[in-house]
């Protein structure tokens, strides 16, 4: 841990550090024994994150901050096993967890290491068997009413404690709203690297390092990132990148309940209320059929035609970033690197040229049907079936054929 302290002989009680602290970790206390009755800054180490803001603003250099040197001498032989954080909300395990367990099992076979899941929440013990049936050899459980709702501080603390104790080699999380908020905090606390929004994972057979692949430079290239000198190796992975692990009703595994003083954990926020977003009739991440539109749809009116086709097929409507940026459709419909990753059985791309940012988000679809005037665009080259022509002529004919069937 870093070390921070106030140098009593230099502090004049000006209060600048307390005003600058973004976490409210510094208070000013009376110092009656001081010859000039000057106040003294006092740091609450339970709130301090060692960000260094106080040291930066103190002109008298009255704040001493010594940060830990980067870890370069990790004994990698101490770290074994692959962990999947089993994200859940209100007792429902996120589907991305089952995808990570499927890929985690492949990685564990290559490394000859066990696959474990970590489950954090309240009244969730019965969900451990679901994880074992999906391939987990062990399930670590933190079950406490304080953990009923996800909050960054307590969740980060309990997972950090467990990682430091058990020393896994790899930790995987879903690139969800929770995972993106949560994983970076854990990585920072244990002093390791984190690769966000991965679309592929592999093991380097020579070094046994985890190869973490993700879009970079605005999605224009795919970068493979390594964490060769630190452990564990951490990554968040997009939903629908991997197939879900199959269910094995006969699978056996070990359930380990973790007992600790969770009530003493720091929590700088207060949970008020959970409001579920019911605005979308069908979540595009879960849809089996998606009809997506891009700039070639021409405007919001053009999406009415796409919605008619999607409704007939029992599917959902998607959109490219260009369409969403033009406010033709809400962000919840956006497919791609900066939107949702999808893997439907059928993906119908209408008027979408197929930039890499979009292709990354849907190229795992079983069947891709592209409708475009430009036969040379990337989407038409990627498609299973490419229909060259005007979408406003082709789609009405498809709708008519479906209605007449």
If one compares 264 and 254, the residue with the highest pLDDT of the two is 254
pLDDT attached to residue 278:
58
Q: pLDDT class for 138, splitting at 50, 70, 90?
A: very high
Which residues are CB-contacts of 144 (< 8 A; sequence separation ≥ 6)? 122, 262, 263
Lowest mean pLDDT among 103-112, 141-150, 189-198: 141-150
pLDDT attached to residue 292:
95
Out of 138-142, 180-184, 219-223, 259-263, the most confident range is 138-142
Query: Which class for 174: exposed (0-12), middle (13-18), buried (19 or more C-beta within 10 A)?
Result: buried
Q: Using CA atoms, how far apart are residues 338 and 379, in angstroms rounded to an integer?
A: 18
Q: Closest Cα to residue 347, out of 386, 393, 378?
A: 386
Q: Using CA atoms, how far apart are residues 251 and 104, in angstroms rounded to an integer?
A: 16
Q: Using CA atoms, how far apart are residues 98 and 132, in angstroms rounded to an integer?
A: 10
pLDDT attached to residue 381:
92
Residue-wise burial string across 91-123, b where 16 or more C-beta atoms lie within 10 A, e elsewhere: eebbebbbbbbbbbbbbbeebebbbbbbbbbee
In the chain, the domains with their CATH numbers are 3-66 (3.30.70.20), 76-264 (3.40.50.620), 289-404 (3.40.50.1220)
Q: What is the pLDDT of residues 205-259, one digit of tens each?
A: 888 899 999 877 766 678 899 998 899 999 999 888 888 999 999 999 999 998 8
C-alpha separations of 137 from 76, 128, 175, 250 in Å: 22, 11, 23, 13
* Helices 300-313 + 391-404 axis angle, to 10: 30
* Helices 152-166 + 177-190 axis angle, to 10: 50
pTM above 0.85, yes or no: no
pLDDT attached to residue 105:
94
Peptide bond into 232 cis (omega under 30): yes
Helices (H), 134-258: 152-166, 177-190
pLDDT attached to residue 245:
92
Q: What is the pLDDT of residues 354-382, one digit of tens each?
A: 988 898 888 888 899 999 999 899 999 99
Q: Using CA atoms, how far apart are residues 310 and 317, in angstroms rounded to an integer?
A: 6
């Amino acid at each position: 841990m870093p070390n921070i302290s106030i140098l009593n002989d230099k502090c004049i009680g000006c209060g600048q550090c307390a005003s600058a602290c973004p976490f409210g970790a510094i208070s000013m206390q009376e110092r009656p024994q001081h010859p000039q009755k000057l106040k003294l800054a006092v740091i609450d180490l339970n709130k301090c994150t060692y960000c260094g803001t106080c040291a930066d603003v103190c002109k008298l250099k009255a704040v001493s901050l010594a940060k830990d040197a980067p870890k370069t001498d990790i004994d990698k032989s101490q770290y074994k096993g692959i962990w999947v954080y089993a994200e859940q909300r209100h007792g429902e395990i996120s589907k991305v967890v089952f995808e990570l367990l499927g890929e985690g099992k492949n990685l564990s076979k290559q490394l000859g290491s066990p696959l474990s899941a970590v489950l954090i929440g309240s009244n969730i013990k019965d969900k451990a068997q679901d994880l074992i049936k999906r391939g987990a050899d062990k399930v670590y459980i933190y079950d406490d009413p304080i953990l009923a709702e996800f909050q960054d501080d307590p969740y980060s603390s309990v997972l950090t404690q467990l990682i430091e104790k058990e020393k896994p080699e790899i930790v995987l999380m879903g690139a969800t709203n929770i995972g993106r908020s949560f994983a970076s905090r854990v990585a920072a606390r244990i002093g390791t690297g984190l690769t966000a929004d991965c679309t592929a994972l592999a093991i380097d057979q020579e070094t046994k390092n985890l190869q973490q692949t993700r879009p970079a430079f605005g999605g224009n290239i795919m970068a493979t990132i390594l964490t060769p000198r630190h452990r564990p190796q951490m990554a968040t992975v997009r939903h629908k990148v991997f197939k879900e692990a199959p269910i094995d009703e006969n699978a056996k595994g070990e359930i380990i309940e973790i007992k600790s003083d969770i009530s003493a954990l720091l929590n700088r926020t207060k949970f008020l209320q959970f409001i579920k977003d019911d605005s979308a009739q069908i979540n595009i991440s879960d849809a089996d059929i998606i009809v997506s539109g891009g700039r070639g749809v021409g405007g919001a009116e053009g999406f009415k035609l796409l919605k008619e086709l999607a409704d007939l097929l029992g599917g959902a409507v998607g959109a490219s970033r260009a369409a969403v940026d033009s406010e033709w459709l809400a962000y919840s419909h956006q497919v791609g690197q900066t939107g949702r990753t999808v893997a439907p059985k059928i993906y119908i791309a209408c008027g979408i040229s197929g930039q890499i940012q979009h292709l990354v988000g849907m190229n795992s679809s079983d069947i891709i049907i592209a409708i475009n005037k430009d036969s040379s665009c990337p989407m038409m080259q990627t498609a299973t079936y490419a229909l060259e022509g005007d979408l406003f002529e082709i789609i009405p004919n498809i709708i008519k054929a479906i209605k007449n069937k």
